[in-house]
Structure 1
């Protein structure tokens, strides 16, 4: 069985409880959600969910069929089946005594990340990119002492033609 990562775009009515019903569907069926982001779409009254999950083709078909059974779901697309752009934002707070800040700044600049806060003992870094870039940045900052990480989850779209 070939398990791969899938990025699914789900267009839904912007109604209370829709997110809970979609997340519950995944949980009841034993499907793991790696990442979920939700926001208003280009159409008034509709929201777009981007869900990253793992599974084979059969599992993805089952997820899609189950999602369409939910009354507020309008459209389900596996956007990872197409060329796509994927981005995630992470804020990473790192221990940073003044003596080691130049090293950390070097890592930040290499990743084209941004320092968004400096305190006497820490630096907060903002990094934007695909999930692999965020993961790599976190790994390089771990030796300095990561205090806290906040990640947005994946936002993704199919590339233009």
Structure 2
């Protein structure tokens, strides 16, 4: 079993995301991450789904996706060199005495403090999933009060 990142170009219509995610559920696939947004084509959206499965099952899911009327194109971007990013917002307990240590972690990860409260900070970190996981682990001792992650978005490198 391996992770696959699938890019799906779909018509920008109500219910498309539900139909696509429902197909994954019916096939017994778990969706690790899903992002949806506008694409380079007006009227089309791009869905990026990260899932785990073997190559044969992934091929079946791709064939089933093409049967959905609003699906235009399906690409397994993880089968080629790709750029994948995720955004995380982490609200961490930060009394003034602990802030220098937290700011050191933020600087190391090339993250940014986007909000400062009397006893907390909100940190924004962008990178691959492993980078965000690592930052979350390092911030846990300070007390993570809230965590929000976007899910992975990706595209193939170069001219593909």
The partner residue of 1:131 within 117, 129, 132 is 129
Q: CA RMSD in A?
A: 0.6
Query: How far off is 1:51 after superposition?
Result: 0.2
The partner residue of 1:20 within 12, 18, 21 is 18
SS at match of 2:89: strand
The partner residue of 1:152 within 142, 145, 150 is 150
Structure 2: 5+ residue runs without aligned partners? Answer: none
Counting only pairs closer than 5 Å after superposition, residues 50-129 of structure 1 correspond to structure 2 as 50-129=48-127
Length, aligned pairs only: 159
Question: What is the TM-score when the length of structure 1 is the normalising length?
Answer: 0.97
Query: How far off is 1:103 after superposition?
Result: 0.3
Offset from partner CA, 1:31-52 (integer Å, 9 cap, x none): 0000000011101111100000
Query: How far off is 1:62 after superposition?
Result: 1.1
Structure 1: 5+ residue runs without aligned partners? Answer: none
Separation in 1, partners of 2:115, 2:38: 29
SS at match of 1:98: coil
Offset from partner CA, 1:118-137 (integer Å, 9 cap, x none): 11110100000011101100
Separation in 2, partners of 1:70, 1:80: 22
Match of 2:139 in 1: 141
Which aligned segments of 4 or more residues in structure 1 are displaced greater than 2 angstroms? none
